[in-house]
Amino acid sequence: MQAFLYFDLTSDSAFHKPVVEQVRQSLSTVSILDLDAHSDELLQHYALRLLRESEKAVVCIKADESPTELGSLMPLLEELFEEGKQRLVLLQGQPPRLQHIFAARPHVVFKVVEEAQVVEEVRRFLEV
């Protein structure tokens, strides 16, 4: 199974997420889940399970410069930090705190991308 997880941590999180729709339309065989900073524990549990059970996964985190509470995201970040997994983290926006977190872990593959680049990066990594 291949997965795409999208986390919108921006302060102005919208219900409609164009990137998620584009991935869904372009890559119909990929399991997709999107969350935001206010997602409940059950949804976060599903995200963690999807991440653990997928052979390959792309996690796109949209964040802005404002300080974001990462407490609810920590179990997922810890899963991303595990070595030996086929995962790609895409950082969308200018999240300096997240850039530092991922840069400190050289075994985690991450890229800073613009919204228009997300679908192509997902397609390239998952080779769909």
Torsion region of 123: left, alpha or beta (phi above 0 gives left; psi -120 to 50 gives alpha)? alpha
Q: Is the pTM value of this prediction over 0.85?
A: yes
pLDDT tens sequence across 34-72: 988 778 889 889 999 999 999 999 999 988 776 566 667
Cα 102 to the center of its chain, rounded Å: 12
pLDDT tens sequence across 86-99: 999 999 987 778 88
CATH no., domain 2-126: 3.40.50.10140
What are the structure tokens assigned to 106, written together?
A: 């050289």
Q: What is the DSSP string of 106-118?
A: TTS-EEEE-GGGH
